[in-house]
Amino acid sequence: MQITILGGGGFLGRKLAQRLAQEGTLGGQPVTGLTLFDLQAPASLPAPFPVRCLGGNIADPEAVKAAIPAGTDVVVHLAAVVSAQAEADFDLGLTVNLHGTLAVLQACRALPAPPRVVFTSSVASFSGGQDARLEDDARQLPGNSYGAEKAIGELLLQDASRKGFLDAVNIRLPTVIIRPGRPNKAASSFVSAILREPLLGLETELPVPEDFAVWICSPRRAVEWFLHAMTMDTGPLGLDRGINPPGRSATVGKMLSALAEVAGPAARARVRHAPDPAIEAIVGTWPASFTAERARRLFGFSEQESLEEIVQAFIEDDLAATRAERGL
């Protein structure tokens, strides 16, 4: 199996690469090569197969072709500018999230055999809000440019699949927690921060009420879903290449209880209430829940683990590196 991860230097790309390196196989077949592509060539990693690390722009068709050579079986397309940045810089969002995905489509189409493409769309491509529990055929009515570009990317890869140019699975990822590193400017940054910062011994602010619900998944679960989507039988998907995976709808209060459960009441006490109507207005339009029937019953995407396990997994996987990165 020849695999390319576009955006392979990011949060989830890195974790997927590490997992592939550990396993050495994908779907029972040996991995024969891995290409990691990102704006800056990602650092390599020890693996039982050759790892190629390339720097380049996803919106540059030639650079993307070089990252997806003949013989590529699977492309995982994670390269994107995220919500806050796409909202602040409309042209950058179009360039990376739309023209980038077009470049991926054309590079795959140029291959002798159509590769599997796993594309990460987002809960931010839907509207709905706190009371929503979206069915699998729910319409995508994005309230932000990032979400619109993700919905467009899905349409492009879905149509390219119908044409036989490639074979796409478009996973609409929930908000992935706990993101390591530093708080960022994403409106949803607080969802990770209220767990990560206290685990680092730092104070942090909660901009929404404790009964505010978010559709979440863990990075471990996201990687499991990627591995599944990279090899699953796509025949039964038919025209519809979109997957709402079985994340979890959790209130902020429940997340903080899990934090207290795993790390003690002192950790939880580091979260201060600081209502921020601007942030609530943005994240309040995202649907808080999905039925995810199709992903579960028809396609065997695995269930999200508990909130306590998510907190524990961050401690095991990312706490030390985050401390080091932030000089704590």
Ligand X SMILES: NC(=O)c1ccc[n+]([C@@H]2O[C@H](COP(=O)([O-])OP(=O)(O)OC[C@H]3O[C@@H](n4cnc5c(N)ncnc54)[C@H](O)[C@@H]3O)[C@@H](O)[C@H]2O)c1
Q: Catalytic residue numbers?
A: 146
Angle between helices 307-317 and 189-199 (to 10 degrees): 60
Residue 97 vs 161, nearer CB to ligand X: 97
CA trace torsion 277, 278, 279, 282 (10° rounding): 110
CB-side neighbour CA atoms (13 Å) of 149: 25
Q: Provide the minimum distance between the beta carbon of 227 and a copy of itself in the complex, in angstroms, as a whole number.
A: 27
Q: How far is the C-alpha of 328 from the C-alpha of 326, rounded, in Å? A: 6
155 binds a copy of itself (CB under 8 A): yes
List, in sequence order, every residue forming a beta bridge with 33; answer none if it has no partner: 2
Q: How far is the C-alpha of 219 from the C-alpha of 249, rounded, in Å? A: 16
Residue 214 vs 271, nearer CB to ligand X: 214
| Cβ contact 146:81 at 8 Å | yes
326 binds a copy of itself (CB under 8 A): no
Binds ligand X by CB under 6 A, chosen from 5, 12, 138, 232: 12
Sign of CA dihedral 35, 38, 42, 46: negative
Which does residue 58 bind out of a copy of itself, ligand X, none, counting CB within 5 to 8 angstroms by kind?
A: ligand X
Which does residue 81 bind out of ligand X, a copy of itself, none, counting CB within 5 to 8 angstroms by kind?
A: ligand X
Q: Per-residue string for binding with ligand X, 130-169, x by CB under 6 A? A: ----------------------------------------
Rounded to whole angstroms, the maximal C-alpha distance in the chain is 58
Q: How far is the C-alpha of 85 from the C-alpha of 65, rounded, in Å? A: 26
139 binds a copy of itself (CB under 8 A): yes
- Interacting residues with ligand X between 167 and 186 (CB under 6 A): 173, 175-176
Binds ligand X by CB under 6 A, chosen from 74, 76, 79, 195: 79
271 binds ligand X (CB under 6 A): no
The 10 Å CB-count burial string (b at 16+, else e) for 242-262 is bbbbbbbbbbbebbbbbbbbb
Which does residue 237 bind out of ligand X, a copy of itself, none, counting CB within 5 to 8 angstroms by kind?
A: none
* Cα-based distances in Å from 95 to 12, 84, 118, 208: 21, 15, 20, 32
Binds ligand X by CB under 6 A, chosen from 3, 4, 7, 193: 7
292 phi-psi bin (left φ>0, alpha ψ -120 to 50, beta other): left
Residue 242 vs 245, nearer CB to a copy of itself: 242
- Interacting residues with ligand X between 105 and 124 (CB under 6 A): 120, 122
Q: How far is the C-alpha of 169 from the C-alpha of 174, rounded, in Å? A: 15
Token pair for residue 303?
Answer: 């269930």
Token pair for residue 55?
Answer: 């720097």
Q: Per-residue string for binding with a copy of itself, 51-90, x by CB under 8 A? A: ---------------------------------------x
- Interacting residues with a copy of itself between 223 and 242 (CB under 8 A): 239-240
Which residues form the interface with ligand X (CB under 6 A)? 7, 9-13, 38-39, 57-59, 78-82, 96, 120, 122, 173, 175-176
Contacts to a copy of itself by CB under 8 A: 90, 94, 102, 127, 137-143, 145, 148, 151-152, 155-156, 158-159, 162-163, 165, 239-240
